[in-house]
Amino acid sequence: MPKIGTWANFPAGVRGHLIERMRDRAISVEDLDQLRLWIDSRPEVPNGDWFKDFGSFKICGHGPLPKTFLLPAQAAKGQAL
């Protein structure tokens, strides 16, 4: 299984999309810190679609790249981590 990538290795388009969604979803600094700690742990992720529920938001990805943020009530697809 691949490991999630680091921010510096995300393509510019992915980084830009994630920043827009962070603003749209009003993700707090505390929530972003939880996300940073999780990403820094370099977790293994499936090759296909996956998501991680942090309670106040979800991050969804495909393989080593996160793709978007969802609100808690929004349905995510893929394997739950």
Provide block-wise average pLDDT over 10 residues at a time, the chain (81 residues): 85 89 88 90 95 94 93 95 96
In this prediction, residue 67 carries a pLDDT of: 92
Region label for 26, one of left (φ > 0), alpha (ψ between -120 and 50) or beta (otherwise): left
pLDDT at 63: 94
50 DSSP β-pair partners: 61, 79
Q: How many domains does the chain have?
A: 1
- Supply the pTM of this predicted model: 0.85
CA 9/CA 22 separation, integer angstroms: 18
Domain ranges, residue 16: 7-75
- Residue 23 in any domain: the answer is yes
Q: What is the pLDDT of residue 26?
A: 86
Q: What is the model's pLDDT at position 61?
A: 95
In a domain, residue 2? The reply is: no
